[in-house]
C-alpha cells in the first residue's frame, strides 16, 4: 500500500531536490541526490545519524519498524537493524565520519545486500542558502543477472524518498509530510 505521505514527498521531491542516476551499466551505477534543507548542517547530521528511526520509512526495513535502526557515527560503526527474534541486519558500515560535515558508509541497501555487490555512500552536510546543502552519492558495483543498471532507477527513487523524509524531519519533525 502506498502511503499518502510518501506519495506527497514524491510529488514534491522535484521542487526541493535534484536526483539523478549519474552513471549506469550492467556492472553498476552511481546515484547523486542534492537537497536544500532549512536547518543547520549540525542539526541535519544529528537527524541523519541519531534520529534515523524517526524519519526512515519503516516500509524499507526488515523488521517493519524504523525505530529498530541505528547508526554508530564512528569508524567501523554499524548502520544496523535489530530484528524482533533477537537477530539483526548490518545494512552498512561507517568507514569515514566528520561529525556535522560528512559520513561515508559501505554496503548494499535492500535487495543489493543479497547480491554480489558492494556500495559506497557519501553524505555531505555543508552550509547552504537557508540552511544545509545535503549531497548524497551512492556508487554500487558488482554482478547481478540482467545487470545492475536495471535496479538503478528503483534504488534512486527509494533513496530520494528517504532523504526527502530526512529533510522533512529536520525542518518540521514530520518525516512523511512537507509543510
Q: Is 56 exposed, middle or buried (0-12, 13-18, 19+ CB in 10 A)?
A: buried
Query: Which helix (H) or strand (E) covers residue 162, if one does?
Result: helix 152-172
Average pLDDT for the chain: 90
Residues 6+ apart with CB under 8 A from 78: 70, 71, 72, 90, 92, 93, 94
- To the nearest 10°, report the CA torsion of 153, 77, 64, 59: -20
64-107: pLDDT as tens digits: 999 999 999 999 999 999 998 999 999 999 999 999 999 999 99
The pTM assigned to this predicted structure is 0.87
| Domains parsed from the chain with CATH numbers | 34-56+95-172 (3.30.530.20)
Contact 102, 96 (CB under 8 A): yes
H-type helices in 51-151, by residue range? 52-55
Contacts of the segment 71-80: beta carbons below 8 A, 24+ positions apart = 71/103, 73/49, 73/97, 73/99, 73/103, 79/105, 79/107
86-98: pLDDT as tens digits: 999 999 999 999 9
Task: Check residue 166 and give its pLDDT.
Answer: 98
Contact 169, 53 (CB under 8 A): no
Contact 41, 126 (CB under 8 A): yes
Identify the residue whose cell numbers are 545535503: 134
* Grid cell for residue 132: 544545509
Task: Check residue 121 and give its pLDDT.
Answer: 98
pLDDT band of residue 144 (cuts 50, 70, 90) is: very high
Strands of 39-153 (E only): list them: 69-71, 78-82, 88-98, 102-106, 116-128, 131-143
Contact 108, 117 (CB under 8 A): yes
Amino acid at each position: 500500500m502506498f502511503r499518502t505521505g510518501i506519495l506527497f514527498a514524491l510529488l514534491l521531491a522535484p521542487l526541493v531536490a535534484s536526483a539523478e542516476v549519474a552513471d549506469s551499466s550492467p556492472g553498476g551505477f552511481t546515484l547523486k541526490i542534492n537537497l536544500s534543507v532549512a536547518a543547520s548542517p549540525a542539526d541535519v547530521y544529528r537527524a541523519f545519524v541519531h534520529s534515523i528511526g524517526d524519519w526512515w520509512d519503516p516500509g524499507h526495513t526488515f523488521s517493519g519498524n524504523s525505530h529498530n535502526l541505528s547508526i554508530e557515527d564512528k569508524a567501523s560503526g554499524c548502520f544496523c537493524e535489530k530484528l524482533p527474534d533477537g537477530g539483526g541486519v548490518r545494512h552498512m558500515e561507517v568507514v569515514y565520519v566528520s561529525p556535522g560535515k560528512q559520513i561515508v558508509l559501505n554496503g548494499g541497501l535492500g535487495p543489493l545486500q543479497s547480491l554480489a555487490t558492494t556500495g559506497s555512500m557519501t553524505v555531505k552536510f555543508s552550509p547552504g542558502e537557508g540552511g544545509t546543502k545535503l549531497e548524497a552519492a551512492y556508487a554500487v558495483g558488482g554482478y547481478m543477472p540482467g545487470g545492475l543498471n536495471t535496479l538503478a532507477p528503483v534504488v534512486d527513487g527509494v533513496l530520494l524518498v528517504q532523504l526527502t523524509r530526512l529533510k522533512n524531519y529536520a525542518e518540521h519533525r514530520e518525516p512523511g509530510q512537507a509543510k
